Every structure is written in C-alpha cells, then in structure tokens.
Structure 1
Amino acid sequence: MRCRAVRRLKRRLGRRGTILTSYGLVWLLYGYGQLTTPQPDQRGLATALSIMPLSGWGWCWIAAGIVALVSAWAPPGRDAIAFIVLPLIVVPWMASYLAAWISGGFPRGWVAAAVWAVITVPVLVVAGWPEPPRAKKAEPPYEH
C-alpha cells in the first residue's frame, strides 16, 4: 500500500515538483529558524540587515518556501514563479556575505556566498528541464 502511495505521489509531483517540494521545505525551515533562533554571528548579513530586519528576511524565506510548495502541485508549466522566487531570495544573502568579505567585516563571507550559490544551482538547472512525458501503458499484442 505504501509503495503504491509513494509511486502515485512521485508521478503527481514529477521531477520538478519534487525539487520544488524539497527546496520549499528547506527555505521555509530556514526562514522559521531565522525567526525563532537567529544566527548568533550576523556580521555577514550587515548589508541585508540594513535593508530589512532579520525577522523580515525570515518571513521572506518562509514566503518563498510556501510559493515553492504550492507551485510543486501546480499543473505542468505553471510552476515558473517558484523557480524565480527560490533563487531570488538567495541573491541578497549572497550579496551581503560578499560585501562583508570585500569590506573585511566578515573574512568567511566568500565561503557563505559560495555555499548559497552552489545550493541554488540545482534549482536553476531543474528550471530548464521539461517534465518528461508520462509513460503510456503498453497495450497487449493483438492476434491476427
């Protein structure tokens, strides 16, 4: 029974929906973490925090995660917004870490920026993938 449910879920979500679900959950949890247990060393986020407080950024991460989770269930071709929103929230984070590294305020800023860039690459790759067509059930051979 469980295997059948997993197969149906996999078929319903597809590859793109699976990525959106995974990243949506991660982004949502990351945002929740920023709200409930903010990172203690925020030097790398100085630029981002000059624009908005960490709680605001936390809600942005949560919103991006929700958009991805909802889009994962959208019909094929209607999930594009999630593939824009997921990497978009990472840009200010990367830019802030890079700015902190360049200014000397956070020596490991380049590492954090690189990690966020690499984490986002699969989203950008999958955004260009068409969902493969569903396999058709084979018809039994007809006897002549």
Structure 2
Amino acid sequence: MGAPGVPRACAWLSRRLGPRGLALATSGISWITYGASIAVQPRYGTVRGISVLLGLRPMWFWGCVWITAGVIALVYAAARPGRDLPGVGAAMAPPFLWALAYALGAATGASTTAWGAVTPWASHALLILLIAYLTRPRVIVPKAVVPGGAD
C-alpha cells in the first residue's frame, strides 16, 4: 500500500495536467533518467545500435540531448494544449531519433539486432503524436457573413 495522500495527489495531478500533460510529464521524467543513464554508463547494445550517431558525437552528448528534451517536455506538461507544442516535439524527438539511428545501424550492418529496437522507439514517438492529436484544442471557425448577401 502507498502513502495515504498518494491517490489524492495523483487525482489532483491528473486534473491539473490532463492526459496530454501527463503524457508529457511521464515522457519528460523518462527521458531525463534515460539520458542520465546513457551519459554515465551506456549499455553495449545501445552503443552498437546507434553507432551511426556516435560517429557524429560521443554518447555523453546524446545523453544530454535526452535530458534536455526531457526537461523541455516536463516544463511544457503544465501548459495548455496548443501552447505546449515545444514539449510535444521534445517528447517525440529523442525516441524518433533513436528509431532512426537503430534503423541505420541495422541497415549498415553495425548491429545485427538493431532492427528489433526500431519499432519500440518509433511507437513511443507515435503515441505522443496520437495523444497530442486527440487532445488538440478544437478550433471553431465562425460562419462568414457577407454584407448584403443572402443567408
């Protein structure tokens, strides 16, 4: 069992952020912790799978990219839908980049198992896109009134 105030805090957070903000906050926290882990102690499979990116920058750099994206997503989690697009982009960019890097790693033969990581990473970016699309602000366009015209 958790602490007595946890369900109340979760309910408050859910009401405050909504599904879109919760998705950004969850991604933000996840990207910060994942980025810290790969910056400090990258896993062998990750290094092999994204070797294309490692030709451009070292792993600590890519860890900082994940951390930065996570912070941006977390900051924009409290913004209203429509004003949180930088957070949505930040939540989508790292997993999409990783999916692309793993696909290139598989295509170039750098890793024979890299293909297996493409879909999981791409699916997270797609899920964020779907949540953002489904919770987007509805734009109401008023009917145009033509002066002197018939209705």
Counterpart residue identity of residue 87, structure 2: A
Q: Is 1:61 matched up with 2:66?
A: yes
With normalisation by structure 1, the TM-score equals 0.82
Kindly state the Cα deviation for residue 6 of structure 1 after the two structures are TM-superposed: 3.0
Counterpart residue identity of residue 54, structure 2: L
Counterpart residue identity of residue 112, structure 2: P
Kindly state the Cα deviation for residue 4 of structure 1 after the two structures are TM-superposed: 3.8
- Structure 2 counterparts to residues 75-114 of structure 1, below 5 A: 75-114=80-119
- Structure 2 counterparts to residues 11-90 of structure 1, below 5 A: 11-41=15-45, 42-90=47-95
Counterpart residue identity of residue 20, structure 1: L
Q: 1:89 to 1:5 in 2, by over 3 A?
A: closer
Q: Is 1:7 matched up with 2:11?
A: yes
Counterpart residue identity of residue 27, structure 1: W
Structure 2: unaligned runs, 5 residues or longer:
138-151
Q: 1:74 to 1:18 in 2, by over 3 A?
A: same
User: What CA RMSD, in Å, does the superposition of the two structures yield over aligned residues?
Assistant: 2.0
Q: How many residues align?
A: 133
Question: What secondary structure, in the 3-state scheme, does the structure 2 residue paired with 1:52 have?
Answer: coil
Structure 1: unaligned runs, 5 residues or longer:
133-144
With normalisation by structure 2, the TM-score equals 0.79
Counterpart residue identity of residue 16, structure 2: R
Q: Give the % identical residues.
A: 33
